[in-house]
Amino acid sequence: ERERLNRLRHTPALTIDGQRVELLANIEMPEDTLGAVAAGAVGVGLFRSEFLFMGRESKGLGKLPDEEEQYLAYRKAIEGMQGLPVTIRTVDIGSDKPLDGRGKAQDTHLNPALGLRAIRWSLADPPMFLTQLRAILRAAAHGQVNLLVPMLAHASEIRQTLVLIDHARAQLDNKGIAYGQVRLGAMIEIPAAALTLKLFLKYFDFLSIGTNDLIQYTLAIDRADETVSHLYDPCHPAVLRLIAETIAECNAQGKGVSVCGEMAGDVSMTRLLLGMGLRSFSMHPSQILAVKQQVLRADAGKLAIWAAQVLASDDPAALL
């Protein structure tokens, strides 16, 4: 089966009815671009930059990566993709992704998943955030870069983020340091964000749906707690509705939309996501060929009609 899949590496991801589908890779380190290219990814849809910030003590590195270290890492990923687009997500530190010395066990907060995490953590430390933004903007001079912001929910957070991006550009201008253009994207992974899409579409060029957290926060199920994992249901009608509405709204407005949570690499969900109108999937490189196989067998027109029925059902999983 692996061998059969490997033959699909260079096959364009087109449905039977000719719809083009973008299959992108999720990466954690610049070296992961090797696997992404080998799997035939047409870009990186999610570079989880927090992995540059984690596990540093054991490697004898400083507490946080400085601008130069980050710039070199982003640039390496961009060069690794050989001209294909790379979406770099600003740090998602906190909760299940702690910094060294601030591990889950030591976290004194009762609900770290609801605490100082991701963009909240970045906005709480503007000099740290500006360092990352400058590094990403500089790396963007070497290729096609999308800058993606995690865990946004509030208009005030969006405004503060955009101000800091402008500020990072101004700092580089002042020093005469070269940087590139970026497309700006927001992750939709908090139900409040999925329910206020107009706000997001006003400010961003594209959206990326983080289903891992969207499921966690919609169903109030800790994504890392095994005692409730049987209730962590990607097919809950509420979850599917938030995903479907986000895709439909972006498509209606001509904005890019992608799914970058685990759901995007789950072959049992490919047909449903295609039926919802999704044309961009970002996943672990090891899943790309299997998802491509599903795409090649799919009729997007027929799936759209079927997906509407699934979305109207009380028990969507039974129809998959």
Chain positions contacting Mg ion, by CB under 5 A: 189, 210, 213
Out of 211, 258, 280, 293, the residue judged to bind ligand PEP by CB under 6 A? 211
| Residues 70-99 contacting ligand PEP, CB under 6 A | 92
Minimum distance from residue 163 beta carbon to ligand PEP (Å)? 24
Q: 13, 22 in Cβ contact below 8 A?
A: yes
Out of 94, 261, 265, 277, the residue judged to bind ligand PEP by CB under 6 A? 261
Minimum distance from residue 212 beta carbon to ligand PEP (Å)? 3
d(CA 125, CA 160): 12
Query: Quick one: which H or E segment has residue 22?
Result: strand 22-27
Q: Which stretch binds ligand PEP (CB under 6 A): 9-17, 132-140, 211-219, 243-251?
A: 211-219
Minimum distance from residue 116 beta carbon to ligand PEP (Å)? 15
Out of 13, 24, 37, 48, the residue judged to bind ligand PEP by CB under 6 A? 48
| DSSP assignment letter at 124 | T
Classify residue 151 as exposed, middle or buried by CB count within 10 Å of its CB (0-12, 13-18, 19+). Answer: buried
d(CA 27, CA 76): 12
Q: Which is nearer to ligand PEP, 179 or 281 (CB)?
A: 281
> Beta-carbon neighbour count of residue 27 at 10 Å?
29
Minimum distance from residue 26 beta carbon to ligand PEP (Å)? 7
Give CA separation, 232 vs 204, 214, 229, in Å: 29, 11, 5
Minimum distance from residue 246 beta carbon to ligand PEP (Å)? 13
Out of 30, 98, 210, 234, the residue judged to bind ligand PEP by CB under 6 A? 210
Out of 212, 241, 249, 302, the residue judged to bind ligand PEP by CB under 6 A? 212
d(CA 102, CA 202): 36
**Sign of the C-alpha dihedral computed for residues 34, 297, 282 and 179 taken in this order:** positive
Q: By the criterion CB under 6 A, which residues form the site for ligand PEP?
A: 46, 48, 92, 189, 210-213, 260-261
